[in-house]
Amino acid sequence: MKKLRFDKEKDGFYGTYWSCKDGSDCGMIAVLGDDPEDHMARAAVKWLHTLGLNVMTMSPEKKASGYHNYPLEYVEKAIQWLKSHHNRKIGILGASTTGTMALTAASFFPDITLTIAMTPSDFV
């Protein structure tokens, strides 16, 4: 899988972009796992690629084991990057704590047109 890494200091967020080999104009932000390249993130990328989506996996830090400090500005910067690289439709995917984050980000950023929140908390 072709990937492009992003650094918090240089790019404004920590993540990895995985382009769909068949080409696509739709991107999904996946906020899963402890690192944008861990096992859970890679599994999500493989699944989302079968659906024809480019994928931006993200985490707050490298090998972050907690999501108590995950600025929504990181998602905003990822959206800007995705749009500037020909992703006309953008979705977000999260599970558990990051499911809550996906819901929150989708409520703030109208460019997110699809939200998948698996087992989010019952409050936002």
- Give 24-83 pLDDT, tens digit per residue: 999 999 998 788 999 999 999 999 999 999 999 998 876 655 556 778 999 999 999 999
Q: CB–CB of 91/113 below 8 Å?
A: yes
Burial 80-107 (b: 16+ CB within 10 A, else e): ebbeeeebebbbbbbbebbbbbbbbbbe
Residue 121 has pLDDT above 90, yes or no: no
Query: Could you please report the per-residue DSSP string of 34-102?
Result: SSTTSHHHHHHHHHHHHTT-EEEEE-SSTT----SS--HHHHHHHHHHHHHTT--EEEEEEETHHHHHH
| pTM assigned to the model | 0.91
What integer best gives the mean pLDDT of the chain?
Answer: 90
Residue 11 has pLDDT above 80, yes or no: yes
Q: Which of 1, 13, 7 is nearest to 101 (CA)?
A: 13
Residue 17 has pLDDT above 70, yes or no: yes
| pLDDT at site 111 | 97
Q: Which of 77, 32, 79, 82 is nearest to 59 (CA)?
A: 32
